[in-house]
């Protein structure tokens, strides 16, 4: 019986996620709890990283188990060979994503207000990967509107969450 082509890759990814999640939890457990200062335990600096570590480890476990039951240890079907055009398109997407992330992290954050940099990044990222030149103008206008709305919400929500709820100063 052959298995789906990416079952083994999912298994490896799941195991890596479990290891990273457990490592994040262990490191967060070692962070100061500030008990000697009578600080509320719900504001301890290791709380959010610890919860995220547990969540990552649990989801990694689910992925690994799912792939194991899908036959990750059995013989694999060969992957369909991509055409040269598909490979070039994948490389273009990788370069575009890397460039956008680099411009955001090095060029925008710290040089412009964080909310503006984040909103612009989210808007540009969505437009870059959703835009199709052969679409009708109405469809492109709708995509621009959706990207602008999501970018605006990100520009408002992300700084609010980090500064107000998580008490993290943003650049």
Encode pLDDT of 36-80 as tens digits. 677 777 777 788 889 999 999 999 999 999 998 887 777 765 656
Residue 122 inside a domain? The answer is yes
pLDDT score of 44 = 75
Distance from C-alpha of 158 to C-alpha of 163, rounded to nearest angstrom:
8
* Shared-domain flag, residues 92 and 157: yes
Predicted confidence at residue 77, as pLDDT, reads 59
- The verdict on residue 29 lying in a domain is yes
63 and 106 part of one domain:
no
Whose structure tokens read 């940099």? 117
My answer on whether 155 and 96 are in the same domain is yes
Domain for residue 64, yes or no? yes
Residue 102: inside a domain? yes
* Contact in structure between 43 and 167 (CB atoms under 8 Å): yes
The mean pLDDT value of the chain amounts to 87
Does residue 93 sit within a domain? yes
Q: For a pLDDT cut of 90, what percent of the chain falls above it?
A: 53
User: Are residue 65 and residue 92 in the same domain, yes or no?
Assistant: no
**Do 49 and 113 fall into the same domain?**
no
Domain that holds residue 97: 84-165
Domain boundary among 46, 69, 92: 69
- Residue 70: the pLDDT is 84
**Direct distance between the N- and C-terminal alpha carbons of the chain, in angstroms, rounded to an integer:** 54
Nearest to 151 by CA among 121, 131, 128: 121
Q: Which residue do the tokens 């008490």 mark?
A: 167
pLDDT at 111: 95
Q: In terms of C-beta distances under 8 Å and separation of at least 24 residues, what long-range contacts does 76-81 make, across chains too? A: 76/2, 76/3, 76/5, 76/7, 76/8, 77/2, 77/3, 77/4, 77/5, 78/5, 79/5
Using DSSP's 3-state secondary structure scheme, residue 73 falls into coil
Of 44, 69, 94, the residue that ends a domain is 69
Same domain as 135, residue 97: yes
CB neighbour burial string for 116-142, b if at least 16 within 10 angstroms, e if fewer: ebbbbbbbebbbeeeeeeeeeeeebee
Residue 61 and residue 97 in one domain: no
pLDDT tens-digit series, residues 100-124: 999 999 999 999 999 999 999 999 9
User: Are both 99 and 131 inside the same structural domain?
Assistant: yes
What pLDDT is stored for residue 59 in this prediction? 97
Binned at pLDDT 50, 70 and 90, residue 83 comes out as confident
1 part of a folded domain? no
**pLDDT at site 75:** 72
In a domain, 12, yes or no: yes
Residue at 99 is within a domain: yes
**Domain count of the chain?**
2
């Amino acid at each position: 019986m052959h298995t789906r082509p990416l079952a083994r890759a999912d298994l490896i990814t799941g195991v890596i996620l479990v290891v990273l999640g457990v490592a994040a939890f262990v490191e967060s457990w070692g962070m100061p709890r500030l008990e000697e200062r009578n600080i509320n335990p719900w504001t301890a600096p290791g709380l959010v990283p610890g919860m995220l570590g547990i969540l990552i480890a649990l989801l990694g476990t689910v992925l690994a188990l799912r792939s194991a039951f899908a036959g990750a240890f059995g013989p694999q079907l060969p992957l369909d060979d991509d055409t040269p055009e598909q490979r070039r398109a994948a490389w273009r997407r990788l370069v575009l994503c890397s460039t956008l992330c680099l411009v955001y992290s090095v060029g925008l954050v710290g040089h412009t207000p964080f909310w503006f940099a984040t909103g612009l990044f989210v808007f540009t990222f969505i437009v870059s990967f959703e835009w199709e030149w052969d679409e009708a103008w109405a469809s492109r206008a709708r995509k621009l509107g959706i990207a602008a709305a999501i970018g605006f919400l990100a520009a408002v929500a992300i700084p609010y969450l980090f500064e107000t709820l998580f008490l993290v100063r943003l650049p």
